[in-house]
A and B are shown apart, each in its own frame.
With several copies, the nearest count.
Chain A
Amino acid sequence: MLSLNDFIGRQPAWCPGCGNFSILNAFREVMVELQIAPHEIVIVSGIGQAGKFPHYTRCNTFNGLHGRTLPVATGIKLANHHLKVFAVAGDGDCYGEGGNHLIHAIRRNPDIKLFVHNNQVYGLTKGQASPTTMRGVKTKNQPFGTVSEPLNPLALAIALDCSFVARGFAGDPEHLKMVMKEAIKHKGFSLIDILQPCVTYNKFNTYKWYRERVYHLEINYDPRDRIGAFGKALEWGEKIPIGILYKHEKTTLEEQFPIIKGEPLAEQKVDMDKIREIFSKILVKEK
């Protein structure tokens, strides 16, 4: 039996009160509840506050570059589809630097669970606007206020027909756990955009701000209706829906390579005899 103790890692270097703590705890509890062992998991993360996540639990860890979580995770999943692969990224990380990979990871649909710790700010680099920062917000680096339309990650994912699209809130850990579990049970690429208050740099989107707006999707909400989901995804402002906005099964990336239908690539033996036989047709001429 796995317990929470199996998921205690290094001491977090986050600010006291940071929304990241409850995401971390939710994750640990979900792992225990689903009895997934640390060595079965790989967490791929980038650089940023969210990127430090895997160090603070126990798991196989690839803490790579800022913005590049998804290609690394895809490579891992294709090399060993038996591993449970998670990608953990910040909003700058995933929607800014890594935006192109997000689009194409969704198109590929590997069975990867992506958590975006969306604090609507660049935390680790001290408070610049991120792609989800709301219009007009001034920072040291946005002296004329944030001039771009904030990116709506859920609408984007639905437009790309992402297999599983959800929003969680760090201030509602039970709901977040539910969403995480559903994502894990779901087969296919799963995006959870997690509203994560940054108590140091985001003075606008605070716990309070989110709490006043966030609501659970209605019971009769149908996450299979793409156009309905798109409409729901556009809701942002007075009311912000959390939950599973869009969900449908489709063939995963790894299922489309017949050669890894069975054994993962990492476990397949290299057969030098076969290789020699094949290439001797090119390299060796009968004398």
Chain B
Amino acid sequence: MDYSIRIGGEAGQGIQTIGDTLAHIFAEAGYYVFTSQDYESRIRGGHNSFYIRISDKPKEAMKARLEILLALDKDSITLHGPELSENGQILYDPSLFKQTLEGPRVLSIPFLDLALKHGGSKIMMNSVAIGSIVGMLKMQPEPMIETIQKTFGKKDTEVLEANVKCAKLGYEFALKECLKCSFSVSQVLKPNTLISGNEAIGIGACASGLKFYSGYPMTPSTGIFNFIAEYARDLGIVVEQAEDEISAINMIIGASFAGVRAMTATSGGGFCLMVEGLSLAAMTETPLVVVLAQRPGPATGLPTRTEAAELLFATFAGHGEFPRVIFAPGSPKQALYLTNKAFDLSEKYQILVLILTDQYLADSQWTYDSLDMERLKYVDYRLRGKNFRNILSYNRHSFTESGVSPLGVPGDAHHLIVTDSDEHDEEGHITEDPQIRTRMVEKRLFKKIPYIKREISPPIFFGENPPDTLVVCWGSMYGVVKEVVEELKQDLKLGMLHFSEIYPFPEEDGYLRYFEKAKKVVGVEQNALSQFEKLLGMEKGISFDARINKFDGRPFTVEELKERLIAVAK
């Protein structure tokens, strides 16, 4: 069982609500779900769509071929009609747009009419549509009702009742009318968790003891801001929207200096404005976690679409030389644990950790059967309270074996915490001394980096070993590459290496043997310039034999990547 559903319509029609609710229903019912969003930079009109994949086995990528297309506007049919599979069904309400479709692959349901008659408002149409899809799949109605109840639970019961009623109507209508629907879902039992990339980062941050968030809205990072703001009261997090990204980064630096874990998230344009701040954090050895949610550039580019073209920028961003760690999770699960690791490393080594995502991962939802919360680590590396008061003397930037100096909390003791964006001495005061300068560079850079490299996990290998063709990818390419490799691995002797802990490269370099063993190395990147390949070339002297790039702002589908991979691997 492996069905793909696409819900298309104008911005403002509720596409996202329908998609999100369906995804939760499916997860609740015990299926594995994968969703992805496609939207324009506008609030009403245009054309958006929401993709859902549902299966009894984990699926972590998008297919081009659709089983169900819920069309709320004409464009859905023009754009996505051709993607319908042989047994696919278009679901629509003819009254919504002046077009009547004929044929066995069409199911027409009067969403609007049912909503107005039985729900009392136009917006209930969405519940009818949700019910219809659940009905088409011949699923049990209970998870649907439960999920709707959860979603509308906070609103008044009348609205809730009406929605449930509308969903049921849609459900029954579809069950009855869609005799030609050949869908049948396997019986599964245990409900799954459903989380998006942005939510995973949000949870990861909150569960790492985040206490201060400052940000400036920017798609596709805003979801993180929203998530953290939602939990701010319960978890005691101060969230403050900044006047610009420069302020955001400097505020979190201030907060981190004052003794709390702090974070910001942004996208390319905003990240540009934060770059001077990164360098400031490095010089003052202030722990800092920054999320860069990539989207297609240059400049404003395609602000709601996806690309991963800021890896090299992120790796070298900031004036002067300083250490940094770069993570690029490949899934919400990785995002959760890597965000936690980001906070840990950042405070342990008093360095900057960047988390790179992109619109595709940020807005995608994946299911898991439970995520292990015990894996989330919290160690407070700061010198606080009594521990701080009891030491005899203190220098914020004292030279140590590991390059890491004790990180005191200002005000907790009579010791003063002094730090400076200028080169400074151990106490933190401005210095012009060439020897101290040299030692400080060594401390920040050469001493810390070897320790940090030991903390970095090697890439994940998957597939045939040794592989004929090794597919190398990073970040959000994980799911789609894995699915394609899984499918083709036996025929083509494929293996894949996925990097999520990108920089610095890990001390343990056993993974290099895959490059040696493979006859052909192929890079898959969502950018034009093969940035990860360049980085690997720079750091490890490795170059690839072929590469697959995509830079039109749309994520790879399984089919597209498969076709392109066969073409180069053969």
Contact = CB atoms under 8 A, between A and B. Distances in A.
Given A62-B419, A276-B207, A285-B193, A266 B280 contact: no
Interface string A52-66: 101100111111111
B323 interface: no
Given A55-B429, A60-B411, A280-B373, A78 B193 contact: no
Interface stretch (B63-71, B231-239, B491-499): B231-239
B518 interface: no
B182 interface: no
A22 B490 CA distance: 63
Nearest to B248: A71
A71 B222 contact: no
Interface in B204-225: 206-207, 209, 211-212, 214, 216-219, 222, 225
A67 B246 CA distance: 10
Contacts of A61: 416-420, 428
A42 interface: yes
Interface in B246-288: 246-260, 262, 269, 276-277, 280, 284
Contact of A268 (B211, B222, B413): B211
A278 interface: yes
A113 to B, nearest CB: 15
The size class of the interface chain B forms with chain A is 35 or more
A231 interface: no
B269 to A, nearest CB: 6
B263 to A, nearest CB: 12
Nearest to A151: B243
Contacts of B192: 285
Contacts of B300: 47, 65-66
A285 B240 CA distance: 32
Contact of B43 (A38, A77, A126, A128): A126
A278 B250 contact: no
A217 interface: no
B43 A63 contact: no
Interface stretch (A9-17, A180-188, A219-227, A234-242): A9-17
A120 to B, nearest CB: 14
Interface stretch (A92-100, A168-176, A244-252): A92-100
Given A140-B229, A284-B370, A128 B257 contact: no
A140 B211 contact: no
Interface stretch (A24-32, A152-160, A257-265): A257-265
Nearest to A92: B217
B233 A285 contact: no
A79 interface: yes
Given A72-B253, A124-B43, A80 B258 contact: yes
The size class of the interface chain A forms with chain B is 35 or more
B445 interface: no
B411 A259 contact: no
Nearest to B253: A72
Interface in B384-431: 409-411, 413-422, 428-430
B545 interface: no
Contact of B254 (A44, A129, A270): A44
Contact of A79 (B190, B216, B258): B258
A103 B242 CA distance: 12
Nearest to B280: A65
A68 interface: yes
Nearest to A82: B411
Interface string A138-149: 001111100100
Contacts of B209: 270, 272, 275
A140 to B, nearest CB: 5
A38 B343 CA distance: 30
A83 interface: yes
Given A64-B280, A75-B252, A143 B230 contact: yes
A62 B280 CA distance: 11
Contacts of B231: 278
Contact of B250 (A49, A75, A99, A122): A75
A125 B234 contact: no
Interface in B13-54: 40-46
Interface in A103-139: 103-104, 108, 122-126, 128-129, 131
B257 A62 contact: yes
B222 A283 contact: no
A3 interface: no
A236 to B, nearest CB: 20
A59 B416 contact: yes
Nearest to A74: B251
Contacts of B190: 285, 287
Contact of B258 (A100, A266, A280): A266
A143 B232 contact: yes
A69 B214 CA distance: 16
B44 A276 contact: no
Contacts of B41: 13, 124
A125 B421 contact: no
Contacts of B475: none
Contacts of B229: 140-143
A195 interface: no
Given A143-B233, A200-B43, A282 B243 contact: no
A37 interface: yes
A246 B40 CA distance: 40
B218 A125 contact: yes
Nearest to A40: B411
A266 B260 contact: yes
Contact of B410 (A83, A96, A275, A278): A83
A66 B229 CA distance: 24
B203 A283 contact: yes
A194 interface: no
26 contacts: A14-B44, A39-B411, A39-B414, A60-B410, A60-B416, A63-B420, A65-B250, A75-B212, A77-B254, A79-B238, A79-B260, A80-B411, A100-B244, A108-B240, A123-B43, A124-B42, A125-B219, A125-B222, A142-B229, A142-B241, A147-B240, A265-B236, A266-B411, A268-B211, A275-B235, A284-B373
* Shortest Cβ-Cβ A-B pairs, 9 listed: A75-B254, A71-B250, A266-B259, A79-B258, A270-B209, A72-B254, A15-B44, A75-B251, A104-B243
Interface of B: 12, 40-46, 190-193, 195, 199, 203, 206-207, 209, 211-212, 214, 216-219, 222, 225-226, 229-244, 246-260, 262, 269, 276-277, 280, 284, 299-300, 303, 336, 369-371, 373, 376, 378, 380, 409-411, 413-422, 428-430
Given A44-B254, A74-B240, A282-B195, 11 more contacts: A13-B45, A39-B414, A60-B416, A65-B277, A71-B250, A79-B238, A100-B243, A141-B229, A143-B239, A144-B233, A282-B193
Interface of A: 10, 13-16, 37-40, 42, 44, 47, 49, 52, 54-55, 58-68, 70-80, 82-83, 96-97, 99-101, 103-104, 108, 122-126, 128-129, 131, 140-144, 147, 200-201, 257-260, 265-266, 268, 270, 272, 274-276, 278-280, 282-287
